[in-house]
Amino acid sequence: MIIVTGGAGFIGSCVVRTLNDRGVDDVVIVDNIGTTDKWLNIRNKKYLEYVNKAEFLQKLPQYKDVTAIIHMGACSSTTERDFDYLWTNNFEFTKALWNYCAEKQIQFIYASSAATYGDGSLGFDDRMDIDLLRPLNGYGYSKQLFDLWVKHQAEVFPAQHVGLKFFNVYGPNEYYKGSMASMVFHGFNQIQKDGEIRLFKSCDPNYADGEQLRDFVYVKDVCSVIMWFLDNPGKNGLFNVGTGHAEPFRRLAQQTFFALGKGENTKYIDMPEHLREKYQYYTKAEMSKLYEAGYDRPFKRIDEGVRDYVQNYLVNNFSNY
């Protein structure tokens, strides 16, 4: 049995799909769907049970033969201001799962974040001393707190422990993330409604409008990395999951237009005040640690990922992966 937290969310539901495609359906999905439409992400999946996260820790000891917990569940909003909520949801909950996996000797794969790198002035190298990092928002700090807690564990470890620092993930099943969904998703909707994509103007003189750079990684490649770690339980540690390439937002917008067979029509709007001091202008994952661990599968280029996402999912009424 494999437990996937956040299993009705963006990355988590794609993980469940990837498990199903491998013939694995003894899956427990943990999430907090509530009044959202995230249930649409799991209606085409095979799984044993859905459990609300509020009940999960109490029910966890009842599950037998658990081989792995893939922990994708968290508050992923970079604008969340309630730090007590972030502490409880992203740090304490993850600690509880770690301790259970250590006690039962279960594989534990969890989501960290590239937001832990802050403004990137120290680089984006997953070999660096994480004590030096200074995240720009509460979300990034809540993720760093757990990475730091793991770093200072002396004896108690799960059968496998892997933290994955996801960079800018995009792709199918992100439809219910609101403002946190990718520019491809928002751009597609803007094109359908207004025939244009609106990008933030740059507030940094080192970057022209639309030339802010991010490492955009397709969600199917993220799932491939997770499956590789499941298949290689002797691999442990904290790893970047990006592509190793920084692409400008304007190129992502262009590829969205191209995937729809349209010419580019990009406009630039003022960045909201509350984002200006906490905005990452550049991210690029250093990927050598993952490759040296043995991972050898290619990551999709921007044109490949955007084309697959737009043509096979977005234009088909946001169909689910």
- Six-digit token pair at 50? 């859905």
Handedness of CA 180, 281, 267, 319 (dihedral sign): negative
Nearest C-alpha neighbor of 314 from the set 219, 192, 133: 192
Identify whether the C-beta of residue 27 lies closer than 8 Å to the C-beta of residue 2. Answer: yes
| Backbone angles phi and psi of 285, in degrees to 5 | -70, 135
Identify whether the C-beta of residue 169 lies closer than 8 Å to the C-beta of residue 182. Answer: yes
3-class state of residue 306 by DSSP? helix
Helix, strand and coil content of the chain, in percent to the nearest 5, comes to 40, 15, 40
- Six-digit token pair at 210? 């639309």
Residue 203 carries which DSSP code? Answer: S
Q: Cα separation of 108 and 71, whole Å?
A: 7
Nearest C-alpha neighbor of 183 from the set 250, 278, 111, 231: 250
Residue 88 carries which DSSP code? Answer: I
Close Cβ partners of 312 (under 8 Å, ≥ 6 residues apart):
172, 319
Residues recognised as catalytic: 139, 177
